[in-house]
Amino acid sequence: MRPKPLTVWLGAVALAAVTVSVSTVGRSGAGVGMLPLRAPRLALPGPLLGFAYGRSATRLARIDPRTLRVLPGHSLRVQAVTGWAVSPDRRRLAVATCGGNPCRGAVRLLAMPAMRPLAAPLATGAPIVALAWVGRTRLLALVGNWPPAAMRLLVIDPGTGSVVARYPIVGTVLRFGRTRSGFVLLTGPKNAIGPATLQLASPVGVRAVALARVGAGLIPGGLWNAAISDDRFPALALDPTGRRAFVIDPAGTVAVIELDSFSVSYHRPRTRRSLFARLDSWLEPAAQAKGDNGPWRQAQWLGNGLLAVAGSDWHGVGTNHGNVIVERLTERPSGLQIIDSRDWTVRTLDPNADSFTITNGLLLATGTRWDVTQTENHTSGEGLIGYDTHGKQRFHLFAGHAVTVNETFAERAYVTVVDPSGPAHQRVVDLRTGRTVKTPVFDWPELLLGNGGPSAP
């Protein structure tokens, strides 16, 4: 999950979804311990499916698991896809689409694997950010323009394809996750940075609890500062049961919320020095840069009490002199840490990473350093590093380049590599050998993995 340039926040739906994964791998006492690294399963039984993006249309189609090319046979044309979710019985697929300019959202319900429409598309007006099933009889849609307009929750009866309830979401939604009960939302105050709020949005309404020790929010930029926004994005992760939420403030405080009782406890993980203790500033307040306007964090529950946390810090300066906009934007990785919630210790696995992806037996780390002015746009990075379940480096590719992991499947990673001079290239990595393989030239599809999308790594 890659943070966007500050000016892009104003026009893109850049919410990070958090998925719940279950792992039962044992723990080792060496290094960072045994990391339970498991990739999400196929969303639906049968062949691999995905949304393939063509020049003129998007299609839901069967995908070759080796090449990620569309296979011949039946497919379904859809408008631009903004989200999807699979029913608990894995027989129905809900697809959120976007048509027109400005975007007009709609929900399509399909019987799977036949890809047969079950009802006429349900128009929602505003764009749909995400979908979530709650049991077999309710479908939730998180709807609204982002940012900074307020969002709302629609409760849909999938049997009739009608909206049965509407609930407003207070504040600015920064993160969301899915549980069996509905959406878990991390919000900040509207057009401000202040105490965060955790909200549980379900078919019966929205409950909220304030997180007094976690700062969050987004202040959109204006012409006076060259449209540079001020934002603070904490991380959100859910445990496998969906009963606990973890919110990690960029300054290091971790809030643990019991979703049944909405009780909150706060923790400050202490650094445990080890062979991975090449420390950075993430948990060191004395070294924390003050006044930066873009701290951004992502997190994922790994299992066995372990959380992975990474992110970046943005700093932007902009002024408007008449019709001339002068700005300077920089991004610096905050590092990849492993937090053990059983004793509240933290170890730095990779100080130069800002993003990670979990696949079978590997944690893929990437990190980008970004500097832009009116006359220069320089991008560099640490490349792609694969760590095994013991936290040991298996391979290091594309050193000095910024890398984005687009998909991982069938022991392969499909990545985009950006040269410091600007051009981007597609590459395919064999995760068993840590080597690149022959790379086809086409747009990677969005695979249907897990229970819904968009999804976090």
Rounded distance, CA 122 to CA 132, Å? Answer: 15
Domain 6-447 classification at class level: mainly beta
Do residues 130 and 454 make contact, with C-beta atoms less than 8 angstroms apart? yes
382 φ/ψ sector (left φ>0, alpha ψ -120 to 50, else beta): alpha
The pLDDT score that the predictor gives to residue 148 is 56
pLDDT tens digit string along 26-60? 333 335 667 888 888 899 999 999 999 887 789 99
pTM: 0.87
Count CB-CB contacts under 10 A for residue 275: 11
Q: Mean per-residue pLDDT for 222-250? A: 85
Q: Domain limits of the chain?
A: 6-447
Q: Per-residue pLDDT for 431 more than 90?
A: yes
Q: Which parts of 123-180 fold into alpha helices (H)?
A: none
CA distances from 106 to 114, 151, 180 (A): 20, 15, 23
Rounded distance, CA 140 to CA 291, Å? Answer: 38
Q: Which of 109-123, 229-243, 273-287, 333-347 has the lowest mean pLDDT?
A: 273-287
Q: Which of 80-84, 143-147, 433-437 has the lowest mean pLDDT?
A: 143-147
pLDDT tens digit string along 147-170? 656 799 999 999 999 999 999 999
Q: Per-residue pLDDT for 24 more than 90?
A: no
The pLDDT score that the predictor gives to residue 15 is 39
